[in-house]
Copies of this chain bind each other. A is one copy, B any other.
Amino acid sequence: MPLSEFDIISRFFAQPDLSFAVPGIDQGIGDDAAILSVPDDQVVTASMDVLVADVHFPAGADAAKIGQRALAVNLSDLAAMGSKPWCFTLGLIIPEADAQWLQNLASGLSVLAQRYQCPLVGGDISRGPLSLSIQVQGLNHRDKLIRRAGAQPGDLILVTGTLGDGAFGLASVTNEPVQIKQIKGHPLKFDPQNDAQATHFNAAYWAPEPPVNFAERIAGRVSAGLDISDGLLGDLAHILQASAVGARIELAKLPYSSHAQAVSDPTSCELAALYGGDDYELCLTANPSELEGLNSLAEQSGLSLTVIGEIVAELGLQCIDVDGETVDHSPSSYQHFKR
């Protein structure tokens, strides 16, 4: 007998490892809507990300991995706001109701749901071509939000973790050379030599670890910020536009993982960081007076934090190479990139 929508919800999703009680959730799964009771001094942040089979993940992948990645990329948007994760909803479209697949999906979702105490509180299920739409809700104190607007000339530009692993991670999952679309399909060098490297990049893709707790702690200390999901250049451009400022980036300061440097070459690492996407790290701007405090919080969170440039008054984004020369990184001119 096929599983009905109600069967699916009760067997796989309305379960204590995924749909548990947390403060403020007066009603989770089980009525026509979730009921969320927000503490007086706080605001709700809400962000929706859609993941489509064979666009955002291989359709045949392990559902547990799909679930973990789906919630991770959504939590990255909450990290981008400096929000404390609160709860999420799931709009699930599946071609068929396969019990094992659904169980795996639920277990994949539960990994970060439990880590961040961010339960599933509702959603919808339909038959159709595989996709997941997740909306995450977060909480912030009213005056402690990380927004795209607010960067000031003289602010430092910082990034968490390392950049480029997301692009190489995609290569490790698809087994295809990563093409950087903004620069007309230039392929990145990606040549893993051992299992440790393969494992690293597989995890970079399937189990990104957005710096959620760190983000929550620095809200109020940074002038602007967002998560790096589309490549540093495109994402930083959003901060510059929202803040009506420019930026000067020192390319030699971009942080790469030792694995990225081992499997690739310097040009590919740089392109992966600038254009690759899927890194789910943070790009932040902050007054230099905040640097010591931010470094201390990063250290407490076990994160690296790297100054890569500064905000300037003149609009536009300048990339400076190791010799102090300006590199033209506008996508259409990439063919002239030094190599």
Contact = CB atoms under 8 A, between A and B. Distances in A.
Interface of A: 26-27, 30-38, 40, 43-56, 77-78, 80-81, 83, 89-93, 121-129, 131, 133, 135-138, 140, 142, 145, 147-149, 226-227, 242
Nearest to A241: B30
B26 A135 contact: no
Contact of A135 (B52, B78, B89, B128): B89
Majority SS at the chain A contact face: strand
Contact of A30 (B48, B92, B242): B242
A30 B127 contact: no
A93 B46 contact: no
A81 B34 CA distance: 9
Given A131-B93, A133-B133, A46 B34 contact: yes
Given A83-B33, A129-B128, A148-B30, A123 B38 contact: no
B48 A43 contact: no
Contact of A226 (B32, B37, B49, B91): B32
Nearest to A235: B32
B55 A127 contact: yes
Contact of A43 (B37, B53, B121, B242): B37
Nearest to A40: B40
Contacts of A124: 48-50, 133
A26 B27 CA distance: 25
Contact of A148 (B31, B40, B127, B138): B31
Contacts of A142: 37
A34 to B, nearest CB: 5
Given A43-B35, A227-B32, A50 B81 contact: no
Most chain B beta-carbon contacts within 10 A, residue among A38, A83, A91: A91
13 contacts: A31-B80, A31-B226, A32-B77, A32-B227, A37-B142, A46-B89, A47-B122, A48-B90, A48-B124, A48-B135, A49-B91, A52-B93, A91-B135
A196 to B, nearest CB: 33
Contacts of A127: 52, 55
Contacts of A136: 33
Contacts of A140: 35
B33 A38 contact: no
Contacts of A47: 32-34, 122
A235 to B, nearest CB: 10
Interface centre among A26, A45, A81, A121 (most CB of B within 10 A): A45
Contacts of A80: 31-33
B91 A133 contact: yes
A81 to B, nearest CB: 5
A34 B83 CA distance: 11
Contact of A55 (B49, B89, B128): B128
